Amino acid sequence: MFSYKIDDNTELRLLEERHAEQVFALLVENRERHPELDKDFSLEDAQKKIKHDLALFAENKGLGVGIWHEGNLVGGVRYHEIDWSNRMTELGYWISGRFEGRGLVIKTCRVLIDRAFNELGLNRMVISCAAENQKSRAIPEKLGFKQEGILRQSEWLQDRFVDMMIYGLLANEWQTDKRL
């Protein structure tokens, strides 16, 4: 019912439990893009993720939105749990391979950054990517995040530790003209 129009073909919706099948199908289709998921990732796991984000949202500690493009779910962006004592949160995102390169993630991130700084009053946004994942790193760079460091071997990915690049963006760096 609720949605946020990004452009003529694209809108964001709060992910609800009834979207679980679409989310699951999309993740399965793009399995190789999601090394962070368990081998036996199931529909139930997709439901759990959505419910987890909704529960955070209900406590004013999170947000998980889906990107609908030409009527289909094609990806999503979420806040990790908001750290209210330090007024910051981290952005996570994913997109179907077939819809990559159209700027959908960038546009969606802008909406969620805007909400974070202007509606919620946060002071800092973080994006962390595997240092080796150039595609993923392009997102914070295009959004104006500053690279702040590289945390060595800080994430276990299936069979090895990877270094994570940390990007940060401060409220006073976010310019109105960057907004959608």
Binding site for its own copies (CB under 8 A): 1-4, 12-14, 16-18, 51, 54-55, 57-60, 85-88, 111-112, 114-115, 119-120, 123-124, 126, 146, 148-156, 161, 166, 168, 170
User: CB of residue 97 vs its own copies: minimum separation in angstroms?
Assistant: 26
User: CB of residue 33 vs its own copies: minimum separation in angstroms?
Assistant: 20
User: CB of residue 1 vs its own copies: minimum separation in angstroms?
Assistant: 5
* Cα–Cα separations (whole angstroms), residue 61 to 26, 52, 88, 131: 26, 11, 10, 27
Using DSSP, state whether 169 is helix, strand or coil: strand
Given the complex with its own copies, which of 134 and 172 has the nearer CB atom?
Answer: 172
Given the complex with its own copies, which of 100 and 163 has the nearer CB atom?
Answer: 163
User: CB of residue 170 vs its own copies: minimum separation in angstroms?
Assistant: 6
Q: What is the 3-state secondary structure (H, E, C) of 68-136?
A: EECCEEEEEEEECCCECCCCEEEEEEEECHHHCCCCHHHHHHHHHHHHHHHHCCCCEEEEEEECCCHHH
- The Cα–Cα gap between 118 and 123 comes to 10
User: CB of residue 101 vs its own copies: minimum separation in angstroms?
Assistant: 25
- Under a CB-based contact definition with an 8 Å cutoff, are residues 167 and 146 in contact? yes
Given the complex with its own copies, which of 79 and 99 has the nearer CB atom?
Answer: 79
List of residues 6+ apart from 8 with CB closer than 8 A: none
Given the complex with its own copies, which of 35 and 97 has the nearer CB atom?
Answer: 35
Classify residue 41 by its DSSP letter.
-
Residue 116: closest CA among 166, 164, 169: 169
Given the complex with its own copies, which of 97 and 123 has the nearer CB atom?
Answer: 123
